[in-house]
Amino acid sequence: MSRDDARRTLVAYDIPDDRRRTRLSTKLAKYGDRLQYSVFVVDASPAKLLRMKSEIEEVLDLQKDSVLFCDLGRLAELSEARFSFLGQGREVTSDEVFVF
């Protein structure tokens, strides 16, 4: 993955069904890091993001579930200041490691 075209995306979900929620969580763990119970951060190329979204859509019940994608910007332009936590923080991995 070229750092020039890779983007950081925040993925948050609200899924009432335990089975679908677990399946989605397992898929997202392949792509990124869990920040909260229902929030992941993913560093990926545009093609990989499309593949991830396609896999996610296969799991969802579009009438009941919701997934939010928030583009945080190009990896090459990001700094440590993108995340702050109150309480217990999480480690976000990428080409560089940021611990908050």
Bridge-based pairing state of the strands 91-93 and 39-44: unpaired
Which two structure tokens, joined as six digits, stand for 15?
């899924």
Neighbouring C-alpha atoms within 13 Å toward the C-beta of 95: 14
How many other CB atoms are there within 10 angstroms of residue 77's CB atom?
11
- Would the annotation count 33 as a binding residue? no
Which residue ranges are tagged as binding site for Mg(2+)?
14
Which residue ranges are tagged as binding site?
14
